[in-house]
Structure 1
Amino acid sequence: MAVSVWQDGICLEIKVQPRSSRNKLVGNQQGIWKVKLTAPPVDGEANQALVSFLADIFGVSKQSVKILRGDTSKLKLVGIHGVSPGQAAEVLENLSGKK
């Protein structure tokens, strides 16, 4: 599942790599997006960083980004309100360098 429809937005499967040198979308492997984050996986810091990162790249508020599954796992299912699948595909392709 690269990008799927969820309520009034999209849903993404994301694998998080915490404690990286910078926040970055790395790419997609078998339908799962890999995101590197500088935050450690302690006390929800990586989750907060992921929500902020996704809100920034999609141009939505932090309240529009919801972690639906995987609060304590590296593999997460994230819903983002207010973004169409077409918009999401364009943003993700541009950031991952794949066109």
Structure 2
Amino acid sequence: MLAVEKIGEDLRLRIFLQPKASRDQIVGLHDDELKITITAPPIDGKANAHLLKFLSKTFKVPKSAIILEKGELNRHKQILIPAPKMIPDELSTLLKS
């Protein structure tokens, strides 16, 4: 399984999420997933909401367009980002390899 997969115009991310971190960032690969840290706590869906907001800013896609496909109550998530307008440097290198 790939951490980052291009499906036509869309991107599918397999994420290992670390909530309650000191800052929001894409850390890099963690086993076969993309490690992302966010500042929100894992309470009442706050981490998921914060993650979607972070991804929306990072990929320049409306938050409502991003789909959390798997892992709503789990650190391991699968997210579909439809036609991202921007791809962060950390991911463009992964997509090339």
- Shorter-chain TM-score: what band? 0.7 to 0.9
The alpha-carbon distance between structure 1 residues 37 and 66, as it changes in their structure 2 partners (threshold 3 A), is: same
- 1:1-99 map, 5 Å: 1-6=2-7, 8-83=9-84, 88=87, 91-93=88-90
The alpha-carbon distance between structure 1 residues 15 and 92, as it changes in their structure 2 partners (threshold 3 A), is: farther
Which stretches in structure 1 are left out of the alignment for 5+ residues?
Answer: none
Report deviation, 1:5: 3.3
Report deviation, 1:45: 0.2
Which stretches in structure 2 are left out of the alignment for 5+ residues?
Answer: none
**Contact 2:3/2:15 (8 A) holds in 1:** no
Report deviation, 1:10: 1.1
Report deviation, 1:29: 2.9
Residue type of the alignment partner of 1:22: R
CA distance in 2, matches of 1:18, 1:72: 12
Instruction: Report SS of the residue matched to 1:12.
Output: strand
Q: Identity rate of aligned residues, in percent?
A: 32
After TM superposition, the score normalised by the length of structure 1 is: 0.81
Runs of 4+ deviating beyond 2 Å: 5-8
| RMSD, aligned α-carbons | 2.4
Instruction: Report SS of the residue matched to 2:61.
Output: coil
